[in-house]
Amino acid sequence: MSVVPEGPFGERVARRLRDETVIWLTTVGSDGTPQPNPVWFLWDGASSLLVYNRADAARLAHVARSAPVSLNFDGNGRGGDIVVLAGAARPDDTASPPNAHEGYVAKYRAAMERVSGSLEEFARQYPVALHIEIRRIRGY
């Protein structure tokens, strides 16, 4: 069941979740400071996102300490097209590696090769999957 609301706002949210390549993932550091980071993501079409991470990414320690996260897309530069999601993140040991995940490769193949040289090298560099369950969506 999708958590995306009905109507024009929900249609915009779904389009952005499907088509955007970067979303800002905010976790909370050990000192309580919000830590926003731009990340690549894959939406399952319903209620969750998948984000691959370097094994040494600080956000993994943040999530281990505190699962609640927020995510947001860039606005339109004039204070509009705002979409903010709240959810909970957890490591996902069952996810395919990024180079073997059909949807992720379809969305990011060229970027993965640009960043790491090959899909296999990208998978070596970004082996840790986070599953983010979306719980709330707001915006305008």
Instruction: List the CATH number of the domain containing 75.
Output: 2.30.110.10
State mean pLDDT over 28-56.
Answer: 97
- Is the pLDDT at 112 greater than 80? The verdict is yes
Number of domains into which the chain is organized: 1
11 within domain boundaries? yes
State mean pLDDT over 52-81.
Answer: 96
Which neighbouring-strand residues pair with 97?
none
87 within domain boundaries? yes
107 within domain boundaries? yes
1 within domain boundaries? no
User: CB–CB of 112/103 below 8 Å?
Assistant: no
Note the pLDDT tens digit of each residue in 15-26. Answer: 999 999 999 999
Helix boundaries (H) for the chain:
7-19, 58-65, 102-116, 119-125
Note the pLDDT tens digit of each residue in 115-131. Answer: 999 999 999 999 999 99
65 within domain boundaries? yes
- Is the pLDDT at 1 greater than 90? The verdict is no
Local confidence band at 2 (pLDDT 50, 70, 90 cut-offs): confident
Sign for the CA dihedral angle at 32, 35, 36, 41 comes to negative
Task: DSSP letter for 99, please.
Answer: G
Average pLDDT across the chain, whole number: 96
Q: Which domain holds residue 101?
A: 7-139
25 within domain boundaries? yes
Local confidence band at 102 (pLDDT 50, 70, 90 cut-offs): very high
2 within domain boundaries? no
